[in-house]
Structure 1
Amino acid sequence: MLSARIRIAARLVAVAALAALTAGCFQPMYAERTLDGQSSALREKLMAVEVPPVDKPNASREARVGVEVRNALAFKLYGTATGVAPTHRLVLRFTTSRSSLMIDQATALPTSENYGIDAQFNLVEIASNKSVMTGTTFSRVSYDMPGSYQRFARARAFRDAEDRAAQEIADNIQTRLASFFSTGT
């Protein structure tokens, strides 16, 4: 009985020692303070990324999705703050796709569809006009299509799918930019 308690205590001490040794190796990505007490530079670096409008034909569905991606990305990078001089420009290009997942055999109409965005982004340093990072990301979201008599519900479901996919693209790009600025690669 005593040896079992000693083994449990030894394991707990080993786990506590391991946790104490590795605790100093990690720092939150969005920390307000760095280890040396200075303010976090990641927030300022993200705020210094300019996101120009996406080049898509006016009044098209892709133009609306481009505005949605740009607005979501701008809010994630800047929050509510503005006024920092841009040091980088994020050039974004994307294509969209739509595919039927399930088809009602009685009416031959789709009942569920997938909406996808494939995005390519390029981070350009403004001072040298050199590309410092490129990447691709994608998003696939599914949505249900109500019966053939509910055309407005069908249009709204499609628009909601576009918005969810755009938000996911913005999340992915913001995470990759934060990773780039915090590690430099």
Structure 2
Amino acid sequence: MSSRETGLKYRRFARTVAALATAGLCAGCFQPMYGERSPFNGPGVSSKLAAINIIPIDTPNGTPIARIGVEVRNQLIFALTGGSGGLPPTYDLKISLSGNRQQVIVDVQTARPDVENYSIDASYSLIDLATKRPVVQGRTFARVSYDIPGQQQRFAGARGLLDAENRAAAIIADHIKQRLASYFVAGT
């Protein structure tokens, strides 16, 4: 065996050891986002999320967006507290919504839509109750499509729209929850 081959084997071995050592060091830094304790020994993310008061979404009564606002709020309450009720609030979450329907595919014979997209745009602000200042602000959206199966089946089309609204509300709630959780973990 030549000295060149020995040196090559040594370098491969050294690289492998260095990679394993780096992986071992990084493994000690990993912490699950929803762990019980924070990296700074304060309350965990789940406790911080449970201490958010979600202000009822201000929408005109009797409108479709009012029902969606209730759905988004209910989804968020369950996602943040796990259904166990909240802690005393330390933050307020203020949300505003707008919804929109758009025809995607139109039947050329009847000029009626066969497929529509339903979209929700949301803006939110997390306000620290101690300072009364917003700590997180953002915008998110959800776009979902649904079929309108034939024009003779009006109930199926109405139910498709209702399901699309509910799916979009769940997406909005999940986006907001993930953003708030990342704020509590990273602080930004």
| TM-score higher than 0.5 | yes
Q: Structure 1's 112 and 8: CA in aligned 2 closer, same or farther, altered over 3 A?
A: farther
Alignment of 1:98-177 (within 5 A): 98-177=101-180
Alignment of 1:78-117 (within 5 A): 78-117=81-120
Structure 2 residue runs of 5 or longer lacking an equivalent are: none
Query: Using the alignment, how far apart are the partners of 2:56 and 2:102 within structure 1?
Result: 27
CA-to-aligned-CA distance 1:134-166 (integer Å, 9 cap, x gap): 110011011111100000000000000000000
Query: Are 1:50 and 2:59 an aligned pair?
Result: no
Query: Are 1:19 and 2:27 an aligned pair?
Result: no
Once superposed, what is the RMSD of the aligned Cα atoms?
2.4
Query: Using the alignment, how far apart are the partners of 1:168 and 1:8 within structure 2?
Result: 47
State which drifts further: 75-84 or 49-58: 75-84
- Of 164, 181, 184 in structure 2, the residue corresponding to residue 181 of structure 1 is 184
The count of corresponding residues between Structure 1 and Structure 2 is 184
Secondary structure of the structure 2 residue equivalent to 1:107: coil
Q: Structure 1's 152 and 9: CA in aligned 2 closer, same or farther, altered over 3 A?
A: farther
How high is the TM-score relative to the length of structure 1?
A: 0.89
| Superposition deviation, residue 10 in structure 1 | 5.9
Aligned amino acid, residue 79 of structure 1: G
Aligned amino acid, residue 135 of structure 1: G
Contact 1:124 1:131 in 2 (8 A): yes
Structure-1 residue corresponding to 2:66: 63
State which drifts further: 152-161 or 58-67: 58-67
Q: Structure 1's 128 and 34: CA in aligned 2 closer, same or farther, altered over 3 A?
A: closer
Query: Using the alignment, how far apart are the partners of 2:112 and 2:39 within structure 1?
Result: 59
Q: Structure 1's 92 and 35: CA in aligned 2 closer, same or farther, altered over 3 A?
A: closer
How high is the TM-score relative to the length of structure 2?
A: 0.88
Structure-1 residue corresponding to 2:35: 31
Q: Structure 1's 61 and 17: CA in aligned 2 closer, same or farther, altered over 3 A?
A: same
Aligned amino acid, residue 89 of structure 1: D
Contact 2:57 2:96 in 1 (8 A): yes
